[in-house]
C-alpha cells in the first residue's frame, strides 16, 4: 500500500506544480476556499495516512462546519504491512464556534469549544472536552486542535501554513498530530515539514499533502499524507 500511495501522491503534486504559477493575484481571504482550513464551511471528507516503519495508521474524517458549529466524526484503524486491518478508535466531536475581529481586513480568527465522545479498542468508551482555533490571513494560517478525554488521553495538533505561490494553491506546512496517554505513558511526538497543494474543479475542491516527520517519542521516521475533499 505504501509503495503505491506515496509515488501517486508525488506524481499528482508534480503534475500540478506548473499550474500553480498561472495566476498572479491572491483571492480575498473572505472569498477564497482555503482547502487546508479544518473549519472551512460545508462538508469536508478526509483520508489520512501515517506511514510508519512497520505499519500504516489510517484515519477517515468527516467534518461539517457552519458559521456557528463544527462537527467532526473520525474512525482510526491500523494496517501492519504483513497483517490484516485492525480497528483502533472512533470519535464524535461538536464545537461551538466564535468569530473574532470581524472588521479586521487582514486576519480571520475563529475559536471553538465543545465536547468529544470516543471509543477505542484499548480504552473503551470515554468523553472529554475540545478546543479548536484558526487564525487565517492571505499568506499565513495557524491551526490548533486540542482534546482532553477523561481516560487520560490527549490529542494536540498545532499547525502553521505559508502560501508561497501568488495564487495560494501551494503551501509549506507543518501540522503534526501529537498523542499523549497519561495512564500508560505511550506517547507520539512527531515533528516535520511538508507541502500541500489545492486542486479545484467545478464540483469540489481537493487538498493533497505530504509531510515527512520524525517521532521524538518513538525514535522513528514516518510519512504523514492525505487528501481532503470539500463539497
* CA–CA gap between residue 35 and residue 120 (Å, rounded): 29
Instruction: Name residues whose C-beta falls within 8 Å of residue 118's C-beta, 6 or more positions apart in sequence.
Output: 89, 90, 91, 92, 125, 126, 127, 128, 149
Confidence (pLDDT) at 30: 36
Within 10 Å of residue 82's Cβ, how many Cβ atoms?
A: 7
pLDDT of residue 225: 96
pLDDT at 231: 85
Model pTM?
0.82
CB of 162 within 8 A of CB of 196?
no
Centre a 10 Å sphere on the Cβ of residue 124 and count the other Cβ atoms it contains. 9
User: What is residue 22's predicted lDDT score, i.e. its pLDDT?
Assistant: 41
Confidence (pLDDT) at 33: 64
Q: What's the confidence (pLDDT) of residue 11? A: 42
**Cell matching residue 28:** 480575498
pLDDT at position 188 is 94
Domain containing residue 101: CATH number? 2.40.160.40
In the chain, how many domains are there?
Answer: 1
| Cα 230 from Cα 63, distance rounded (Å) | 9
Name which of 83, 91, 82, 85 is nearest 62 in CA terms: 91
Alpha-carbon distance of 125 to 117, in angstroms, equals 8
Contact present, 54 and 80 (Cβ < 8 Å): yes
Residue 122 structural domain: 2-230
Q: Give the three-state DSSP class for 35.
A: coil
Contact 175, 160 (CB under 8 A): yes
Bridge partner residues of 123 (DSSP)? none
Backbone angles phi, psi at 191, to 5 degrees: -135, 145
Give how far Cα 105 sits from Cα of 11, 31, 100, 165, Å. Answer: 37, 12, 12, 21
Cβ neighbours of residue 5 under 8 Å, at least 6 residues apart? 49, 51, 225
Strand partners, 52: none
* Consecutive 10-residue averages of pLDDT for the chain (231 residues): 46 44 40 79 93 94 95 95 92 94 83 95 90 94 96 94 92 95 88 95 90 96 95 85
Write down the pLDDT at residue 26: 41
Tell me the C-alpha distance between 169 and 86, whole Å: 35
Q: Which residue is listed with cell 500508560?
A: 184
- Residue 182: the pLDDT is 84
Amino acid at each position: 500500500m505504501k509503495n503505491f500511495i506515496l509515488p501517486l501522491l508525488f506524481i499528482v503534486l508534480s503534475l500540478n506544480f506548473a499550474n500553480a504559477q498561472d495566476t498572479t493575484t491572491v483571492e480575498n481571504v473572505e472569498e477564497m476556499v482555503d482547502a487546508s482550513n479544518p473549519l472551512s464551511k460545508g462538508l469536508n471528507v478526509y483520508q489520512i495516512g501515517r506511514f510508519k516503519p512497520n505499519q500504516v495508521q489510517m484515519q477517515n474524517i468527516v467534518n461539517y462546519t457552519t458559521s456557528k458549529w463544527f462537527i467532526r466524526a473520525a474512525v482510526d484503524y491500523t494496517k501492519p504491512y504483513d497483517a490484516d486491518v485492525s480497528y483502533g478508535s472512533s470519535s464524535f466531536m461538536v464545537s461551538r464556534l466564535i468569530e473574532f475581529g470581524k472588521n479586521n481586513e487582514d486576519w480571520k480568527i475563529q475559536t471553538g469549544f465543545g465536547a468529544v465522545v470516543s471509543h477505542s479498542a484499548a480504552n473503551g468508551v470515554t468523553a472529554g472536552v475540545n478546543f479548536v482555533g484558526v487564525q487565517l490571513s492571505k499568506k499565513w494560517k495557524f491551526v490548533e486542535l486540542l482534546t482532553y478525554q477523561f481516560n487520560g488521553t490527549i490529542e494536540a495538533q498545532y499547525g502553521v501554513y505559508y502560501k508561497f505561490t501568488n495564487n495560494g494553491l501551494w503551501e509549506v506546512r507543518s501540522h503534526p498530530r501529537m498523542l499523549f496517554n497519561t495512564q500508560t505513558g505511550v506517547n507520539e511526538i512527531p515533528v516535520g515539514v511538508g507541502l500541500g497543494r489545492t486542486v479545484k474543479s467545478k464540483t469540489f475542491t481537493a487538498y493533497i499533502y505530504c509531510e515527512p516527520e520524525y517521532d521524538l517519542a518513538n525514535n522513528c521516521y514516518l510519512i504523514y499524507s492525505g487528501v481532503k475533499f470539500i463539497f
